[in-house]
Amino acid sequence: MVDYYALLGVSPLASRDQIARAYRRRTVARHRGRVIALESQLRQMREAFETLGDPERRSAYDTELEAKRLPERSAEDDRLGREGRARVAAARAIGVASRRMSRRATAENGPVLRAITEAHEARERYEARVRRRRALIGRVLHTVWLATLTAAAWYLLGRLG
């Protein structure tokens, strides 16, 4: 029996959309090579997509696949499964503890966080004021420079004429 999940490169928990994407990705990759020898593999992929895409056929396939795998399971597989479940449980516990710590830290440090935010906003307002002043000074200097040039031009014209 062909393992359709391995053939398409998806997890047994994959959604219909993930299966469809994997099928399209695999078939496009196979067609690019234009290798006729892969026709049977393309046929198997099409069959896998059709089987895994239909919920009823998929559940029947999963049942049949699990029944085939049960006798093959060894003590090593069971140990790996237990370790995996333990790791998932530990990761969940870490996530819960992290969220609790984050909430507690936010509650305890609320006033400090607000003070930091207010200081940051005050700094931004100050910098905006400084930018406006610099722009104003630049416009004034430009105007003074133009007035000086105009006065110098009039002076020279008066001396020449």
What is the pLDDT, as a whole number, of residue 23? 82
For the whole model, what pTM was predicted? 0.36
Q: What CATH architecture is 4-72? A: Orthogonal Bundle (1.10)
Burial of 45 (0-12, 13-18, 19+ CB in 10 A): buried
The ranges of the chain with pLDDT < 50 are none
What is the pLDDT, as a whole number, of residue 30? 57
pLDDT tens digits, one per residue of 112-156: 878 888 999 999 999 999 999 999 999 999 999 999 999 999 999
